[in-house]
Structure 1
Amino acid sequence: MNEKKLFHNFKSYINDSPLNNGDKNGSIQELKPKLLNGELVVGAAHSAVLLTPLSERDGGRLGSLFVTNYKLSFVPIETSHYDEYGQKNHLLGTFDVPLTGVGALWLTDGGPQRRRRLLPYADMPGKVKGLQVICKNMKVMTFSFANSPIGNGRKVAMALVHHAFPKRHDLLFAFEYREPYYPTLPPDLNMFQRPGDWKRELERCECPHWRITCINGTSDAFMLTAGETLIVPSSVLDYNLMESARHFRSGRVPIWVWGRPEGAALLRSGELLQTEQSATAESVLLEQVRRSHPKLTPPHVIYLCGNSAAGGPSPAHLPPLQTLHASHRKLAELCTPTTLGNFWLQDSQYYSILDSSRWLRYVANCLAFAEEAAAHLDNNVTVVLQEGDGVDYSAVVSCLTQLLVDPHCRTIAGFQSLVQKEWVALGHPFCDRLGLPRPGQSKESSAQLAQCAPVFLLFLDCAWQLLQQRPAAFQYTDTYLVTLWDCAHNHLFDTFLFNCPRDRDLAVSKNFVARPVWDWGEQFSEQDQALFYNPLFTPDRPAVPPSHNTHIGQGATGWRNSRTEAWQGAGAGQSGRGAGRLRACGSVGAVELWALCYERWLPPLDAPHAGRAHFHAYHWRLRAQIQQLSEKLSSLSIMNNRLWSGEEVPEVPVPVGSRFFPFSLGRHEDLARNLDSMQVSLIDASQLLDSQSLLNAPD
């Protein structure tokens, strides 16, 4: 009896002329989302409208909105080539969002103007006219149910609240997804899951004064949030570790994470507890660390969150997690305007709002701490990073320090191994920080909500800043870093799904299928993966110009030889003193907003013939041109060079791309053709440089 009400009293958000009621209703009912094995539809709203973001007109796309136990999916009634991103995910469509990627929900009156927050487990109103979804990667999707059957909007909202904010960890779709997994991980990727993996890292760094202990995997474990394998000084006994762990937060005694053959090492530690014997326990362990140095050099302790015993934190300290979370929330408000008027209002106050968030200050502080630690390691002094529970900022600064001092970590395989070691194996609480329910907990507590903080995003932002400062020193690109952040919210993969290795092992023992995110072929084609590789990366190239190192006292020949040998050992991870050392600028004026990550969903900021992907493809074409010239040169001898016909290689055209490619909608055929040629040309630039040398030319 409500059939007339379905299509009367309807405020149109469609630019095109509407279809007749019968055809439109029949077409909408036939729309279905693409489902994975084990994925089920738990809510649907037909004749829903996806509003165009930041549009001056009330325009949008007509289709059906579905909520499954894995994602939120909008299926438009009509599709076009402009509905595709440059990066195509095999598991998610253009208008799909994983449920764990949903950050906040807002109820609207059918448009983006008036809204109110919809909190988890709160009462649902009897009628839902519109719904706005703000994702954790700052994507905003606004839906109108004015043309939908009565009750569809409310059903979708209830299903989304129930499944996007589950009360138990084992209710996530990863526990229901039973698709067989056949690993195709890179052979040079170190997962740091077994003692042999840590032994391989210890041998790579050539540190003979440290040993592996597996006591943390026994009943005498003292560091419950870390894996079973730890690396400690050779002179310390397991019994002493157990006794000293009582004086550190979460039992986080100083543990080895990286070292140099000359003796300097990088360690991570939790803060001391306020006990009578805590200072003595710290002194005993630091003495054992000093004995692990061949020259018995005392270690240097860096207090990342300030040292209360020394008179309080310094101005450059890193903030509490609640403060970092508030800073990110202000940044998200700047990058997620819901109306065009709000966008231009924020644009007029852009820098003041950005500065008030203090996000870039925290990024600069992390870079400054990493530069300080790298400088001490460069002087062959052991560094101990100390903060809180030893699982947050110490992971950030430790990773950044290794990016500065170890060329192996600047490769894609090395970077992925670095994340596995510092974040996964050593127990960064991803569930707590990303707002997921804890394993074994039936209900969220206020204490857990207070621990939400984008610490991993802070690290990725810092890594991007280093990429901006040294664009030729890293094998990965900003597209790779943005994709990694998006995958952190895809709960199909286990890499960022647990608080510690113990929780993961317990889930695997209950038939949970672990799928590491590093198996990129599960999500992307070779063409999309080609954008992960930096065409400017040259492993055997000095990272710092000679003019910046004249104070070292080496001659030009000695400097060039030492740097070249260090870069040639990048793949093997050779880490001699000063080898491949980068220098980071940690001032606020040297950092900038990561636009590709934070502003990619804002259409007014997108622009053609701009962006790094635009020049990325151009650089690949240049490398292909260099390869073509080098092949011709190698086929000629020095004597018959003059007999060459002299035909010129055609000029490399600049491909057409947009600023936020591959995360922007639109047609990218020209740029896609360049990517097709890139996927088979992932060659080492050092080989090209060697082949161009006349000394290597055939006789």
Structure 2
Amino acid sequence: MEFAELISTPKLDGVILHAPFQEPIDGTLCITGHHLIVSTRKENVQELWLLIQAIDAVEKKQHSSSNQNNGISMGGGTIVLKCKDFRQLQLDIASGNDFLNVYSSIERLANLDKPELSYPFFYRPMYNILEDGHSLFPLEAEFAKLLATEEWRISHVNRNYSVCKTYSSVIIAPKAIDDNTLIASASFREGGRFPVLSYRHENGAILLRSSQPLLGNSNKRSRDDERILTAVLGPHKKGYIIDTRSSNLVSLCKGKGGGTEPDGHYTQWNKIFKNLDKLVKCDGSVLDHFNKLIDACNDVTISSDKWLSRLESSHWLTHVQNVLSTACLVAQCLDKDGASVLVHGTSGMDATLVVTSLAQMILNPDCRTARGLQALIEREWLQAGHPFQLRHSKFCYSNVRSKNHQPTFLLFLDCIHQLHYQFPYSFEFNTQMLIVIFEHSYFSNFGTFVGNNEKERKDLQLAEATTSFWSYLNRPEVMTNFLNPLYEPNKSAIWPSIAPVSLVLWDDLYLRWIIDQKYQRSAARKIQQLIQNDKDLRTKAIRMRKQLVDLQKELLSLNLETEVESED
């Protein structure tokens, strides 16, 4: 298929663009296979380059006009583009035919569902690649210290993705457990997602994740699965199973063949149910709640009372609170109790990953660095099989979204934002880096978030055909913009308040096209400059101090030589 076949009107003059925080632009619209471009000959007017993948919904409002016989005919109209970064753009087109052609062209291009037709496969960077982000965080390197012990090993049992198609080809497994046991346990878990290592705390406590066991109505048992969990705990130790579902949902899942671990067969494990059902069920309700939040943010006419009411009724911050609460519980079990924890819901690809990732963010200071966050996203989201392609193909504005479209990853980033808000000195990166990661997970020049799991990415040959987002982000001139000038390394755990009064709306993200952020950006640049000047002064003072010491040594040497000569 050629992109030209989908584009009825590739170029059109006299299009008026309305965009946030700028005057309307009367210019030329160009439609390519991957971009909308609006340019003008006026000086000091920035042209628009919009990746079509960024468009979540296209709406048309056709205008009517009167002809010479006082009849009504259809004239041009307005096309509204609602984007996945919450921006809303408007194109005014005078001609009726051109209006319909442009609308249909954008609609067709915005709904292509083949990953290999997306822009990352056509993008070629105009800069040197300093490091290949596709191979930057191999699992073996991330767990190198742990693998040097006598407790854990690398398993290639899933090398062909035949055991679990959503796991990576490399698995970290207990040394006491052979591959046959892993295979048998996989048949007992939803989607083959048997218990795997997520994190080892400094006190030796282990964090595991998996999917639900497949008990069925007969309460089927898996001794191999029990053997894995026993090997992780060791004799006479207790652990916790954090099931991210309510007991009611577990009962419903059991009626469909699933369930939770029977107490009689997992005697060393204490079970705790957490009500994150809306994240686990993937019924679209979380996205519906998020849509209510964005609708409220976009309504600039409502009063303060109604705004607060609509914010509360969206339940978005309730989801944030519930997830943070569960992550804190997991972190407390690991850190305070020294107990190992297994986290799972139904499939283990949504709420499970949010909770295990945030628990590490709370406990592990490495995750609060720029590289550490990237490594965390790689192993807990990309390598762990979070279906980005499925979850992010549509967003909050689309009318054709399904139950598979969920903002789970955005919820994770919002929770990091809450931690950053409460502990602003403990993160090497600023919240703008979180926003950039959010954007590229939904639409990007890069291939990092294409596909639903490692198997699909290998089938698509992403490492050979696309550039990694991490390769771009880690370029010094880029990363400098996302470093926190107030950062002071903190080796301790950070324990956030989860009280409702402590949680805040992420206005830098959700309101950035409603409230102009230029003053905040200007203030941030000034802070960065002041801190840089302070660093420069410190460097200069250290250099002068060193020069002074060298001068003193030289004077002392001259004095000694003078004394020797006088004695002679």
- Report the TM-score, using the length of structure 1 for normalisation: 0.66
* Preserved CA contact (<8 Å) 2:244 2:344: yes
1:328 matched to 2:290? The reply is: yes
- Call closer, same or farther: CA 1:126–1:494 in 2, change over 3 Å: farther
> Structure 1: where are the runs of 5+ without partners?
1-38, 85-93, 112-124, 338-342, 438-445, 544-566, 568-579, 644-699
- Call closer, same or farther: CA 1:182–1:623 in 2, change over 3 Å: closer
Q: 1:170: Cα distance to partner?
A: 2.7
1:480 matched to 2:433? The reply is: yes
Q: 1:50: Cα distance to partner?
A: 1.2
- 1:397 is paired with a residue of what secondary structure? helix
Structure 1 counterpart of 2:460, one-letter code: A
Q: 1:405: Cα distance to partner?
A: 1.1
* Preserved CA contact (<8 Å) 1:262 1:380: yes
Query: Which of the numbers 168, 172, 177 marks the counterpart of 2:118?
Result: 172
Query: Which of the numbers 50, 53, 56 marks the counterpart of 2:17?
Result: 50
Q: Residue 168 of structure 2 corresponds to which residue in structure 1?
A: 227
Q: 1:394: Cα distance to partner?
A: 1.4
1:409 matched to 2:367? The reply is: yes
Query: Which of the numbers 304, 308, 330 marks the counterpart of 1:351?
Result: 308
Q: Residue 34 of structure 1 corresponds to which residue in structure 2?
A: none
- Call closer, same or farther: CA 1:536–1:180 in 2, change over 3 Å: closer
Distance in 1 of aligned mates of 2:236 and 2:465: 47
1:129 matched to 2:104? The reply is: no
Q: 1:607: Cα distance to partner?
A: 6.0
Q: Residue 92 of structure 2 corresponds to which residue in structure 1?
A: 144
Q: 1:404: Cα distance to partner?
A: 1.0
Q: Percent identity?
A: 22
- 1:263 is paired with a residue of what secondary structure? coil
* Preserved CA contact (<8 Å) 1:41 1:69: no
Structure 2 counterpart of 1:290, one-letter code: T
Distance in 1 of aligned mates of 2:275 and 2:168: 34
- Call closer, same or farther: CA 1:633–1:491 in 2, change over 3 Å: closer
Query: Which of the numbers 386, 390, 413 marks the counterpart of 1:428?
Result: 386
* Preserved CA contact (<8 Å) 1:138 1:336: no
- Call closer, same or farther: CA 1:126–1:517 in 2, change over 3 Å: farther
Distance in 1 of aligned mates of 2:278 and 2:496: 17
Q: 1:277: Cα distance to partner?
A: 6.5
- Call closer, same or farther: CA 1:136–1:256 in 2, change over 3 Å: same
Distance in 2 of aligned mates of 1:155 and 1:396: 42
1:215 matched to 2:157? The reply is: yes
- Call closer, same or farther: CA 1:96–1:535 in 2, change over 3 Å: same
Q: Residue 496 of structure 2 corresponds to which residue in structure 1?
A: 584
- Call closer, same or farther: CA 1:637–1:488 in 2, change over 3 Å: closer
- 2:496 is paired with a residue of what secondary structure? coil
Q: 1:233: Cα distance to partner?
A: 2.2
> For each residue in 1:57-110, what CA deviation from the matched residue of structure 2 results, as whole angstroms up to 9, or x when unmatched?
xx6211122221112222134242xx55xxxxxxxxx62221111111111246
Distance in 2 of aligned mates of 1:411 and 1:70: 34
1:636 matched to 2:548? The reply is: no
Structure 2 counterpart of 1:215, one-letter code: V
Distance in 1 of aligned mates of 2:75 and 2:186: 56
Q: Residue 265 of structure 2 corresponds to which residue in structure 1?
A: none
Distance in 2 of aligned mates of 1:506 and 1:72: 29
Structure 2 counterpart of 1:396, one-letter code: V
Q: 1:385: Cα distance to partner?
A: 1.0
Q: 1:186: Cα distance to partner?
A: 7.7
Structure 2 counterpart of 1:401, one-letter code: A
Q: Residue 27 of structure 2 corresponds to which residue in structure 1?
A: 63
> For each residue in 1:634-677, what CA deviation from the matched residue of structure 2 results, as whole angstroms up to 9, or x when unmatched?
6338999xx9xxxxxxxxxxxxxxxxxxxxxxxxxxxxxxxxxx
- Call closer, same or farther: CA 1:46–1:525 in 2, change over 3 Å: farther
- Call closer, same or farther: CA 1:420–1:289 in 2, change over 3 Å: same
* Preserved CA contact (<8 Å) 2:276 2:323: no
* Preserved CA contact (<8 Å) 2:245 2:275: no
Query: Which of the numbers 465, 484, 495 marks the counterpart of 1:513?
Result: 465
> For each residue in 1:450-481, what CA deviation from the matched residue of structure 2 results, as whole angstroms up to 9, or x when unmatched?
20011111111111111101111111101111
- State how many pairs are aligned: 510
Q: Residue 554 of structure 1 corresponds to which residue in structure 2?
A: none
Query: Which of the numbers 243, 261, 276 marks the counterpart of 1:303?
Result: 243
Structure 2 counterpart of 1:507, one-letter code: L
Structure 1 counterpart of 2:188, one-letter code: H
The CA RMSD over aligned residues, in Å, is 3.4
* Preserved CA contact (<8 Å) 1:44 1:67: yes
- Call closer, same or farther: CA 1:458–1:42 in 2, change over 3 Å: farther
1:288 matched to 2:228? The reply is: yes
* Preserved CA contact (<8 Å) 1:427 1:499: yes
- Call closer, same or farther: CA 1:501–1:181 in 2, change over 3 Å: farther
- 2:449 is paired with a residue of what secondary structure? coil
Distance in 2 of aligned mates of 1:303 and 1:468: 28
* Preserved CA contact (<8 Å) 1:411 1:476: yes
Distance in 1 of aligned mates of 2:307 and 2:394: 31
* Preserved CA contact (<8 Å) 1:41 1:67: no
- Call closer, same or farther: CA 1:223–1:377 in 2, change over 3 Å: same
> Structure 2: where are the runs of 5+ without partners?
1-5, 65-72, 253-272, 553-568
- 1:215 is paired with a residue of what secondary structure? coil
Distance in 1 of aligned mates of 2:476 and 2:538: 29
- Call closer, same or farther: CA 1:407–1:515 in 2, change over 3 Å: same
Q: Structure 1 or 2: larger strand share?
A: 2
Q: Residue 331 of structure 2 corresponds to which residue in structure 1?
A: 374
Q: 1:507: Cα distance to partner?
A: 1.2
Q: 1:182: Cα distance to partner?
A: 5.4
Task: Write the mapping of 1:246-257 to structure 2, written as runs, cut at 5 A.
Answer: 246-257=187-198
Distance in 1 of aligned mates of 2:117 and 2:375: 29
Distance in 2 of aligned mates of 1:460 and 1:233: 31
- Call closer, same or farther: CA 1:277–1:519 in 2, change over 3 Å: farther
- Call closer, same or farther: CA 1:66–1:472 in 2, change over 3 Å: same
* Preserved CA contact (<8 Å) 1:41 1:68: no
Query: Which of the numbers 99, 104, 110 marks the counterpart of 1:158?
Result: 104
Q: Residue 570 of structure 1 corresponds to which residue in structure 2?
A: none
- Call closer, same or farther: CA 1:288–1:521 in 2, change over 3 Å: closer
Moved more, 315-324 or 242-251: 315-324
Q: Residue 453 of structure 1 corresponds to which residue in structure 2?
A: 406
* Preserved CA contact (<8 Å) 1:41 1:66: no
> For each residue in 1:397-429, what CA deviation from the matched residue of structure 2 results, as whole angstroms up to 9, or x when unmatched?
111111111111111111111111111111110
Q: 1:502: Cα distance to partner?
A: 0.9
Moved more, 390-399 or 630-639: 630-639
* Preserved CA contact (<8 Å) 2:353 2:381: yes
- 1:450 is paired with a residue of what secondary structure? coil
Structure 2 counterpart of 1:217, one-letter code: R
Distance in 1 of aligned mates of 2:458 and 2:424: 38
